[in-house]
């Protein structure tokens, strides 16, 4: 792509010269390689787009040991949560740590001397729940318990659904009581 852009900007006499075309192709190849390296550098600056090599670096810097079987998204969320968890512990910090997980909205509240975590956007147990629980447990004050609330589809919800909508939910989304 770069080669054609470079050749288009040259005068027509030089653009047809084989030696000039070869030089421009070489320059264009190097420019594309440089562009790819810059894109990767920019991606590596953010937790949710960094490469695995950079993720390993972030884990070492933050002293985060990935859990066995944890996927890349979970590892990224753990590192992001660790990075956000310095300073005074309050609801905003706990919310920032919980927001590091991208699998749905999480609400953090403080009710009756307990930290209340509510998984809002998705039904059933969230993916990588162990990761978010571990990160929040590391940050929270030791004397405060955490209570988790998970959404399930109830019978009243099911009665209002069409068959197509009902089939789009996994069995783990339903509460059986």
| Domain boundaries along the sequence of the chain | 2-44, 72-173
- 10 Å CB burial of residue 60 (0-12, 13-18, 19+) is exposed
Q: Which residue, among 118, 133, 104, 125, has the nearest Cα to 173 in the 3D structure?
A: 125
What residues of the chain score a pLDDT lower than 70? 1, 103-104, 121-127, 152-161, 163, 166, 169-177
Q: What does pTM read for this prediction?
A: 0.55
Q: What is the pLDDT of residue 54?
A: 94
- 10 Å CB burial of residue 24 (0-12, 13-18, 19+) is buried
107-126 confidence digits (pLDDT tens) = 889 989 899 988 876 655 66
Q: What is the pLDDT of residue 177?
A: 52
């Amino acid at each position: 792509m770069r080669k054609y852009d470079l050749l288009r900007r040259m005068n027509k006499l030089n653009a047809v010269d084989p030696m000039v075309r070869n030089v421009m192709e070489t320059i264009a190849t190097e420019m594309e390689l440089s562009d790819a390296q810059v894109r990767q550098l920019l991606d590596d600056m953010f937790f949710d787009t960094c490469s695995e090599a950079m993720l390993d670096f972030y884990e070492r810097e933050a002293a985060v040991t990935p859990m066995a079987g944890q996927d890349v998204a979970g590892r990224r969320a753990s590192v992001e949560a660790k990075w956000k968890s310095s300073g005074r512990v309050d609801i905003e910090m706990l919310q920032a740590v919980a927001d590091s997980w991208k699998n749905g909205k999480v609400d953090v509240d403080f009710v009756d001397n307990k930290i209340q975590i509510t998984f809002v956007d998705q039904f059933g147990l969230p993916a990588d729940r162990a990761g978010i629980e571990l990160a929040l447990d590391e940050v929270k004050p030791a004397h405060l318990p955490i209570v988790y609330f998970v959404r399930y589809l109830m019978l009243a919800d099911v009665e209002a659904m069409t068959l197509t909508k009902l089939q789009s939910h996994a069995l783990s989304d339903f509460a059986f009581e």
